[in-house]
């Protein structure tokens, strides 16, 4: 593991977390731990209004920091956006969100990091270049490699437009065949544009390219 991507194990009141040693290396998809609502400010469950006492204990949701009784905050769910090593206690509402995000981390991010091949056109140029496109290991950059090399910071991407084909009047499924990406270069207000097109002569990679584009669409949301 390179020094820039090195991680350390830290203990917080919410649990063990594996976080980057350097804040600048944090994933753009990460979340900070929320401050907990102080015990003295929550005499009752913030969901069902049950009064806390010696029998009904209070618990803090690790995602929102609010106070709940055990019934309203019993789920332990993975929370990768906060880098928790193990599943942590969350209220029902937060648990649903975290479950959807875990699927994103387990599936879409892995697809993006594995990469796919596209013809890439820069700006208004009429020339395209065959490039392998992937998300960097620290999830901070979209890396494009061919005869040229580009690194686009994820936080600088302003627009992701997925290009599709195959729509039928009866409502048939569409297939992702490309993408238009708009982004800013750090230190400049200029908006750059790239067009990604899946090559028709790479039939064995069509599914991979479509899956990569679908994952990129998830990232933009």
Q: What is the DSSP annotation of 132-186? A: EEEE-TTSSEEEEESSSEEEEEGGGEEEEEEEEE---TT-PPPEEEEEEEEEE-T
Domains annotated for the chain, with CATH where assigned, are 7-112 (3.30.40.10), 115-166+174-220 (2.30.29.160)
pLDDT tens sequence across 138-170: 888 999 999 999 999 998 999 999 888 765 555
Query: Does residue 82 carry a pLDDT above 80?
Result: yes
More confident residue, 172 or 156: 156
For residue 208, the SS3 value is helix
Give pLDDT, residue 67. Answer: 96
Mean pLDDT of 2-6: 59
b/e burial code for range 32-57 (CB count within 10 A of at least 16 → b): ebbebbeeeebeebbbeeeebeeeee
More confident residue, 203 or 14: 14
Query: Does residue 62 carry a pLDDT above 80?
Result: yes
- Model confidence at 2, in pLDDT bands (50, 70, 90)? very low
Give pLDDT, residue 124. Answer: 83
Separation between Cα atoms, residue 214 and residue 108, nearest integer Å: 8
Give pLDDT, residue 199. Answer: 74
Separation between Cα atoms, residue 61 and residue 90, nearest integer Å: 4
Separation between Cα atoms, residue 139 and residue 187, nearest integer Å: 21
Mean pLDDT of 176-194: 88
pTM over 0.95: no
- Model confidence at 4, in pLDDT bands (50, 70, 90)? low
pLDDT tens sequence across 63-78: 999 999 999 999 899 9
How far is CA 121 from each of CA 99, 208, 221, rounded to the nearest angstrom?
Answer: 36, 20, 24
Give pLDDT, residue 3. Answer: 46
Query: Does residue 33 carry a pLDDT above 80?
Result: yes
DSSP H helical ranges for the chain:
92-103, 109-114, 206-220
pLDDT tens sequence across 87-124: 999 999 999 999 988 888 888 899 999 999 999 999 88
Tokens of 38: 């102080």
Pairing of strands 75-77, 88-90: antiparallel
Separation between Cα atoms, residue 214 and residue 179, nearest integer Å: 10
Separation between Cα atoms, residue 141 and residue 150, nearest integer Å: 9
């Amino acid at each position: 593991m390179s020094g820039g991507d090195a991680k350390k194990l830290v203990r917080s009141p919410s649990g063990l977390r594996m976080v980057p040693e350097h804040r600048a290396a944090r994933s753009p998809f990460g979340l900070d731990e929320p401050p907990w609502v102080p015990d003295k400010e929550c005499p009752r469950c913030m969901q069902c209004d049950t009064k806390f006492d010696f029998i009904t204990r209070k618990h803090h949701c690790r995602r929102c920091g609010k106070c709940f009784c055990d019934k309203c905050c019993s789920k332990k769910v993975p929370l990768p956006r906060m880098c928790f090593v193990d599943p942590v206690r969350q209220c029902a509402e937060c648990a649903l969100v975290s479950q959807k995000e875990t699927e994103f981390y387990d599936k879409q991010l892995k697809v993006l990091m594995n990469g796919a091949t596209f013809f890439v056109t820069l700006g208004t140029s009429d020339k395209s270049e065959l490039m392998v496109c992937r998300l960097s290991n620290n999830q901070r950059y979209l890396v494009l490699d061919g005869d040229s090399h580009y690194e686009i910071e994820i936080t600088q991407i302003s627009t992701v437009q997925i290009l599709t084909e195959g729509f039928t009047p009866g409502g048939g499924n569409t297939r992702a065949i490309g993408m238009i990406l708009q982004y800013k270069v750090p230190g400049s207000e200029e908006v750059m544009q790239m067009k990604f097109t899946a090559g028709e002569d790479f039939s064995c990679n069509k599914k991979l390219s479509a899956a990569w584009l679908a994952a990129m669409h998830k990232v933009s949301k």
